[in-house]
A and B are shown apart, each in its own frame.
Chain A
Amino acid sequence: MFETILAGFGDTLNAANLFFVFVGVTAGVIAGAIPGINGPMAIALCIPFSYYMTPVAAIGFLVGLNKGAFFGGAISGVLLNTPGTPEAAATTWDGYPLAKQGKGEKALRIALYSSVTGDAFSTLILIFVAAPLASVALYMGPPEIFALICIAMTIIAGLGTKSLVRGLIAAAAGILVGTVGIEPVSAMPRLTFGIVELERNISLIPIGIGMLALSEIILQLERQADRKDNAERISFSSLPTDRFISLREYAIYIKTLFRSSIIGTVVGALPGLGAPVASFFAYDQAVKHSPQPESFGKGNLEGIAASESANSAVVAASLIPLFTLGIPGNVASALLIGAFVIHGMIPGPLMFEHNERFIYSIYGNLLIATLFLFCVGRLGLKTFCKAVQVPAPVLYPIIIFTCVMGAYLAQYAVFDVAVMLFFTILAYFMRKFDYSIICLIIGFILAPIWETSLQQIIIASEQAPYTFLTRPVAVLLMALTFYIVIKTARNGKKSSEDKT
């Protein structure tokens, strides 16, 4: 056991791996700093390039990318009053007023230290919690897995979207897309419409790139055409008190950082809620616990500390359901499933038995990425600030070209580019009609596991029709699913009545 842990962490310290984690963190910060580009988009674009890395380096690179993007979002939030990522929205409330006072560098430094604190906290929780939870999850049979996927999908559709009905429709559509390809029982093509390329199943890469990156870029350009740039020019003060955060100042916020990290970890571990919920909730709690609540929104460092530590804590915490149950908690971890599968691993409780060394090397990568985030953030803060100034007409064509080439590189297939474009159009209309693309992607990823457990339940029911009812955990989870559906539907109706 101890040897496995050491070997796993030893793999992390391989020079090539360290290099890719470093590149991932740096690229993530730059991507996050550019308004309109977020962590999942960067992951979707970079998964094809991770093919050429070792599994440890690939996952380290992608996790680093996601961690970097979470902090990067704060840069444009503070300097432009435009959050680079949705979770950085609460950071702008205090970050931008500070930047206008010339204390932008100070705001960014507290954002960095808070991100690192929240990130380190949730990484440690993941390391200590995942293995025991996975050993419990191993006792789950097909009925529990089936019910667990049902409840996860319902939570994601109900809490992560504006409309439960549209969220569930998107999830069902994702499951339908996941059934395209070779059917597992008869080994015959299913829903392939005679297209040979579809027989090897639809790959996650073109779907991810099309739905998360290209469609988003097209919509960003559309929004930019209608928007006027009204951000004020920001200048940095040269006074050390306006630039740096002393250890004493950091210690003042330690209670807020700790509380927000717990909030971020809990929210991240629950599927569907996501980082924006964590940061808004942590910000709200910081205001409630502060002796000067009126100072929030006018440039209070504590507001930035609360928001950033909470949203960064989500990154590692969202890996808890992924590692222990094989269920992605958010879109970034859904994309990571794709990366795991590409490298021959299936996330879930069995990974702790079959790929124990790999798990420890991922833990090592997570810790190293946190350390790199601290170093890269400290050394390159001024440089990253310049990333927010790259004009969209320069940046977006490069991203669009990368999208097309990334889709091609997944399997060296022109057909994948066509698939990517199809899902770009689909995502464009889904966004316009307010359907959740996250639900579709997660439905697509969970379709094979859901189908297998459903088939096992049906086959077992032929012998014993009430198998499902004899499993109390499965029954409880299904009851909870129905409760969430009814509760969300009622809340939706009530809020709709309130509007009138």
Chain B
Amino acid sequence: MTELRRNIMGYCIVALGGLALLLLIIPANVPEYPGYGVPASVLPNIAAGFILILALVGLLRSLSDLRARKRHADKATSISLASLLRLLSFILPCALLMPAMSRLGFIPAGIAFMLVIQLCCRQRKPLVMTAVAVLPVLAVYAAMRFVLGVPMP
């Protein structure tokens, strides 16, 4: 994907988001005007309206650039399916960590998480992997349990 196409796609998404905020999300999720002060919807509406207008300005500008054939100044971007999969490979273990900790316990879930994340980081040395998986988890456990005395997840 080139920069110009990326910008056009970005502005379209943002403009649609702004429109959805103004027409659907804000009206449905803002308390009614109590009759004094300022309605609660003023600032969200200003922000969403601003987003919509700016996105349309940006979109028009990018489209005129595209029409003016400024493509030779256009660069490729690093947005690809592989990069999205890589993002998912980090987000998914992070999202599962807390539920796993409440089911399996802090230390086993923490160690499993560290092993998975290290594999995602392309660590392949078993000894280093074990040390990096165990030591930080034990250190954080000790700090949370015995030093800070906070409730464990």
Contact = CB atoms under 8 A, between A and B. Distances in A.
B73 A500 contact: yes
Contacts, number: 177
Contacts of A214: 90, 94
Nearest to A194: B29
Contacts of A432: 6, 77-79, 83
Contacts of A1: none
A395 B101 CA distance: 22
A405 B140 contact: yes
B40 A394 contact: no
Nearest to A428: B87
Given A396-B121, A496-B65, A176 B91 contact: no
Contacts of B55: 169
B37 interface: yes
Nearest to B56: A165
Nearest to A168: B54
Contact of B61 (A165, A172, A189, A408): A165
A467 to B, nearest CB: 14
**Secondary structure at chain B's binding surface: helix, strand, loop or mixed?**
helix
A84 B6 CA distance: 29
Contacts of A218: 86-87, 90
Contacts of A175: 43, 47
A401 B34 contact: no
A191 B132 contact: no
Interface in B4-32: 6-7, 9-10, 14, 21, 25-26, 29-32
Nearest to A462: B38
A282 interface: no
Contacts of A401: 110, 113-114, 117, 136-137, 140
A396 B90 CA distance: 11
B122 interface: yes
Contacts of A398: 132, 136
Interface residues of A, number: 62
**Secondary structure at chain A's binding surface: helix, strand, loop or mixed?**
helix
B150 interface: yes
A393 B105 CA distance: 25
B70 A450 contact: no
A169 B58 contact: yes
A259 interface: no
Interface in A384-410: 392-394, 396-398, 400-405, 408-409
A412 B102 CA distance: 13
B151 to A, nearest CB: 5
Nearest to B102: A414
B95 interface: yes
A185 B36 contact: yes
Interface residues of B, number: 69
Contact of A172 (B50, B78, B94): B50
A188 interface: yes
Contacts of A409: 144, 148, 150
Interface string A463-500: 00000000000000000000000000000000010011
A432 B44 CA distance: 26
Contact of B118 (A193, A393, A412, A434): A393
A417 B94 contact: yes
Contacts of B136: 397-398, 401-402
A188 B41 CA distance: 12
Nearest to B70: A500
Nearest to B69: A500
Interface in A403-430: 403-405, 408-409, 412, 414, 417-418, 421, 424-425, 428
Given A412-B151, A425-B91, A428-B87, A165 B54 contact: yes
B57 interface: yes
A91 interface: no
Contacts of A188: 31, 40
B30 to A, nearest CB: 5
Contact of A414 (B90, B98, B133, B148): B98
Contacts of B90: 214, 218, 221, 400
Q: Which 3 interchain pairs have the tightest Cβ spacing?
A: A188-B31, A393-B123, A185-B37
27 contacts: A165-B54, A168-B50, A169-B51, A179-B43, A186-B31, A186-B40, A188-B31, A190-B31, A190-B40, A190-B44, A191-B44, A214-B90, A221-B121, A393-B122, A396-B121, A397-B117, A397-B121, A398-B136, A403-B94, A404-B97, A408-B98, A424-B91, A424-B94, A425-B87, A425-B91, A432-B77, A433-B6
Interface of B: 3, 6-7, 9-10, 14, 21, 25-26, 29-34, 36-38, 40, 42-44, 46-48, 50-51, 54-55, 57-58, 61, 65, 68, 70, 72-73, 77-79, 83, 86-87, 90-91, 94-95, 97-98, 110, 113-114, 117-118, 120-123, 128, 132-133, 136-137, 140, 144, 148, 150-151, 153
Given A169-B54, A176-B48, A397-B121, 18 more contacts: A52-B148, A166-B58, A168-B54, A173-B51, A179-B44, A190-B31, A191-B25, A191-B29, A218-B90, A221-B120, A392-B121, A408-B153, A418-B95, A421-B91, A421-B94, A432-B83, A434-B7, A499-B70
